[in-house]
Amino acid sequence: MACRVFIHCELLLLLSFFYEPVSARAQSPAFIWTTDWSKDGKYVALGGDDSTVWVYSSENYSLYRSFKLNSMVRCVSWHPKEDLLAIATLDGVSLLSMQTQEVKDIEGLSTGGRGIAWNRTGELLALADGDGVLRILSRDGVLLRSIKKYNNNSYFSVDWHPTKDILITGGDEILMFDTTGRQLAFIRHRNVTTGVLSVQWHPSGEFFAIGDYGHDKEGIPNLLQFWKADGTLMKEMRGISQSEYRNVRWNHSGSLLATASDALRIWDKDGRLISTGPRTEDLWGIAWSKDDSRIITSSFGNGSVKLWSNKAALIRDIN
């Protein structure tokens, strides 16, 4: 009888594990695509293929709360003035309010994408989606304009000019638009087709940085480039990373650029490589702290989240 009771209890324990809610079991991120540090420095948000937004407190880098969504997360972007997070998923856009702790799905969107960004005032939100459409929404998620490009190929990235209502997008090429939908520039960044996975304006607004996918194993090196707004190539760094440049991020002062690829690398504004972190796994998400002293990275392969100095020295593992 004692043996039966033991077996029965053990079976119940096993079943309780399998039927335990995901939120109770999952305590750390997995398959992370994206990360962003809130503008007030209080929170770090991450998201990826586990369809969860993970919000960490910057005070002690502990998990503050996780928010389960209905679709895989591709990009997150904090509002420049509020504790409001824009989330691009495979299916559309959601807004997470840290004040109410609620997630609101934006109605009227059936396609999401990899690129999402607020403009400098936080009044406009841009989604560069998977159907080759650039959508501009209000702060509350009302669709204001849809800008279709010349083909249906996916966008990978988007960024707003720091002082003007101009958008730069990365896809198979680099496109620039104003908010009326007028195309301002069309740039082929190389003579073969490789996706521009990340674009970001320098804080001065005088030029922007792009990182591309490359095809290193096929002899097509990954590129990091600096471009002027008129389409003039200023600087090109090739063959340094052995993996695609998933993300490029300027610090707030514009003195340093951090790139996420096979390692964390720090560059100056003239494109000189300053520091390289230890190579442990390919990095995908990257974000600077408010005071530019620290960097958060995330990885898809093992879901690791790491904290670094601004000289690419590893400070600690977050999870």
Q: What is the DSSP letter of 217?
A: G
The two structure tokens encoding residue 46? 């991450």
∠ CA 216-219-220 to the nearest 5 degrees?
A: 65
Question: pLDDT 10s per residue in the chain (319 long)?
Answer: 434 333 344 333 333 333 333 343 356 788 999 999 999 999 999 999 999 999 999 999 999 999 999 999 999 999 999 999 999 999 999 999 999 999 999 999 989 999 999 999 999 999 999 999 999 999 999 999 999 999 999 999 999 999 999 999 999 999 999 999 999 999 999 999 899 999 999 999 999 999 999 987 788 999 999 999 999 999 999 989 999 999 999 999 999 999 999 999 999 999 999 999 998 899 999 999 999 999 999 999 888 999 999 999 999 999 8
- Measure the CA–CA gap between 192 and 219, rounded to whole angstroms: 12
Largest CA distance in the chain: 83
Nearest to 263 by CA among 249, 275, 251: 275
Tally the domains of the chain.
1
> Would you say residue 10 lies in a domain?
no
Strand order in the sheet with 43-48: 32-37, 43-48, 52-57, 63-68
> Would you say residue 18 lies in a domain?
no
> Would you say residue 4 lies in a domain?
no
Beta bridge pairs of residue 103: 96
Beta bridge pairs of residue 159: 168
- Measure the CA–CA gap between 245 and 211, rounded to whole angstroms: 5
What pLDDT sits at residue 319? 84
Domain with 99 in it: what CATH number?
2.130.10.10
Task: Give every CB contact of residue 198 below 8 A, 6+ residues apart in sequence.
Answer: 156, 157, 170, 210, 211, 245, 246, 247, 248
What pLDDT sits at residue 86? 98
- Measure the CA–CA gap between 220 and 78, rounded to whole angstroms: 34
> Would you say residue 15 lies in a domain?
no
b/e per residue, 177-188, with b = 16+ CB within 10 A?
A: bebeeeeebebe
Beta bridge pairs of residue 45: 36, 55
* Contact criterion met (CB below 8 Å) for 259 and 242: no
Domain of residue 110 covers: 28-317
Using only C-alpha atoms, what is the Rg of the chain?
Answer: 20
What pLDDT sits at residue 7? 36
State the CB neighbour count (10 A cutoff) for residue 119.
21
Nearest to 199 by CA among 219, 172, 179: 172
* Contact criterion met (CB below 8 Å) for 248 and 258: yes
> Would you say residue 5 lies in a domain?
no
> Would you say residue 17 lies in a domain?
no
- Measure the CA–CA gap between 19 and 2, rounded to whole angstroms: 26
What pLDDT sits at residue 215? 86
